[in-house]
Structure 1
Amino acid sequence: MLIACADKATSQAELKLVNTIKLKIAEPSGITAYKKHLYIVSDQNGGIYKTTLTGEVVKKIKTNYKDLEGITIIPSSKKIAIVNEAKRSLIYLNLKGKFLNKHKIKGEQETTNSGLEGICFDSSIKRLFAVNEKAPKQLLALNLKGEIKNTYPLNFSKDVSGICFDENSNCLWIISDESSAIYQISKKGKLLKKHKINVEKGEGIVIYKNHMYVVSDSQNTLYVFEMVN
């Protein structure tokens, strides 16, 4: 049974840093989890790296895209979804990296470096959520074709650099590298809870089995937090 993410804090979890792991991945800019593995995308070379939960690379999936800032997996169709910031593209690949299709995500951004910064999938409503980094800072609710169904302003952080869906609380979490903080929010973008973190340029976030995984772009590092109730 799903619990609705109300406009008040639904989770009292605190974040306890339990591991810091140096990655052999250049400029990790997005992260997701699927079947006991992490999938991390590189902003530098456009590669997707399948790793263990402790960051050991077990497979590299090459793509023909650069400036990738977010990744998620659609479990029912076994598709990888990635987003290109500058071109505002939603790109689907299979799990081996074969191109399937691509969609344009409409919207505003002042520069090529202030656009899409993350994407996640809510299987309960079959909807994608993406974030716009700044100018404007926004939460975007999308269908699977990348069509915007709703937009919500995000005015509580300096920027937005990543997003993930938390099936336990049925809420979203976003990360801001400029604010050095992680925020739990409703699906309408309302702030529920804020956590300050000591992570430089946190660019990607995902929750898996009561742990939160954060990647730092500048430090090439994976931070593992235990979500303690």
Structure 2
Amino acid sequence: MNVAEPSDLTIDETGTILWTVSDTNNKIYRLDLQGNITKTLSYVGNDLEGVAYDRRDHTLWLAEEEYRAVIHVDTAGAIVLNERSPGLFIPLKSDFSYDVKYQLTFAGDYSAMTYDPQRRCFWIMSDESMAMFLCTGPNVVHAEYALSSRRFEGIALDPAGKYVYAVNDSARALYVFQNTVPVAPAP
């Protein structure tokens, strides 16, 4: 993958387009499923650490870590994750206000997060702990999956929930894992 220090990963509703951001050059990249760059957006951020694709309007929401800001250039997420000092899980309302913040305690840091609607859980990645965690809420870990190295900084699921995509910023690589976690029964 030819992206310097990819820092997060998201996937569109078709399951064919990935988006990542670089915290080295603060650019946004569209990728194919093999990790090849297909487009670079003109927006240049400052300390980009997160990206989320919004299926409602096909836009992207970006996390600017230094300014603790969320920028809407092209998506909208319902949850914000602070990497460390402290690691926070903040459920947001539609107007971006919140009632509660949860301090996370199960990993060394919290590099990336994505929601898995089929399993009604969150996948949370930790660079320092070299693991992906399957959580149903703040500090409710149901499974931990070891990663082969540090510097995994982004995670996304295909729309069917069959594959977990992850980026590693030091290896500049895209990894694809088969998602074997059973689908949650209907409520």
TM-score (norm 2): 0.88
1:29 aligns with 7
Q: What percentage of residue pairs aligned between the two structures are identical?
A: 29
Q: Give the match for residue 79 of structure 1.
A: 59
Structure 1: tracts of 5 or more residues without a match: 1-22, 96-119, 122-127
- For the 8 Å contact 1:46–1:62, the answer to whether it is kept is no
What corresponds to 2:184 in structure 1? Answer: none
**Structure 2 partner of 1:185:** 135
The 1:65/1:145 distance shift into structure 2, 3 A limit, reads: farther
Cα shift readout 1:28-48 (whole Å, capped 9, x = no counterpart): 001100021101111111211
Report the count of equivalent residues: 177
Q: Distance in 2 between matches of 1:171 and 1:200?
A: 23
Which of these residues, 32, 56, 66, is aligned with residue 46 of structure 2? Answer: 66
Q: How does 1:171-210 map to 2 (within 5 A)?
A: 171-208=121-158, 209=160, 210=162
Q: Distance in 2 between matches of 1:146 and 1:219?
A: 34
Q: Compute the displacement of 1:136 (Å).
A: 1.3
Shift of 1:176: 0.4
Give the superposed CA RMSD: 1.6
Equivalent of 2:82 in 113, 127, 132: 132
Structure number with higher relative contact order (C-alpha < 8 Å, ≥ 6 residues apart)? 1
Match in the other structure for 1:211:
163
Task: Give the AA of the match of 1:67.
Answer: D
Residues 134-153 of structure 1: CA deviation (Å, up to 9, x unaligned): 22122111124432233222
Q: Which residue pairs with 1:222 in the alignment?
A: 174
Partner deviation per Cα, 1:92-143 (whole Å, 9 max, x = no partner): 0138xxxxxxxxxxxxxxxxxxxxxxxx83xxxxxx1121112212211112
List aligned pairs for 1:51-62, cutoff 5 A: 51-62=31-42
Supply the distance in 2 between the matched residues of 1:187 and 1:143 (Cα, whole angstroms): 16
TM-score by length of 1: 0.73
Distance 1:63 1:199 in 2: 31
Rate the CA distance shift 1:145–1:194 in 2: closer, same or farther, 3 A. Answer: same
